[in-house]
Amino acid sequence: MLTIQEGTEESGPYKAFLQEKIRTYNDEHSPHHAEKRRTGVRPVHVMVLDDEQIVGGIYGEIYWGWLEVEFLYLPDNLRAQGLGSQLLHRIEQLARQSGVKRVLVTTFSFQAYAFYQKHGYETTGVIPDYPPGSAQYTLVKHFVPSSGSA
């Protein structure tokens, strides 16, 4: 007999079960998902150090010919000096060297939305009032082949 059970507590077994089932389904229906799990994800990062201590940086993952930027952080005293632009440029260069053609990033209106726009990222999605009073943005940048390319 089937029953439906509700819960609000953190439950690793439920989450793990559902995650595994969804991954299996995706692998069966999308060769790209299966390939990503077989060949893995290539992490890439550029860090800012001060006396050998990490104080900021950028982290992303390369898969499917994309770079997905997951984290970009600089403390307040290092912002508005061009350092964020340097980090973004360097991780994009690392991605290009790996054959990446596009970059994906999500950010909130109170984070770095204008920063990514300034660097050629185009808004592909927006969720207003998420979190309340703000918005979440999805942005994509397409690398343009150099003039020496065919």
Q: State pLDDT tens for residues 49-79.
A: 999 999 999 999 998 889 999 999 999 999 9
What is the percent of the chain where pLDDT is above 90?
Answer: 65
Positions of E strands within 4-118 = 42-50, 53-63, 66-73, 102-108
103: how many CB neighbours lie within 10 A of its CB? 25
Q: Give the pLDDT confidence score for residue 84 in this predicted structure.
A: 95
Residues in the chain: 150
Residue range 100-107: mean pLDDT, rounded: 96
- β-strands 102-108, 122-128 pairing: unpaired
Residue 96's Cβ-side half-sphere holds a number of Cα atoms within 13 Å equal to 12
Query: Across the chain, what does the average pLDDT equal?
Result: 88
> Is residue 150 very low, low, confident or very high in pLDDT (cuts 50, 70, 90)?
very low
Sketch out the chain's domains with CATH numbers: 41-142 (3.40.630.30)
Tokens of 59: 């982290």
Average pLDDT score over residue span 13-39? 77
pLDDT grade, residue 149 (50/70/90)?
A: very low
The pTM is what? 0.81
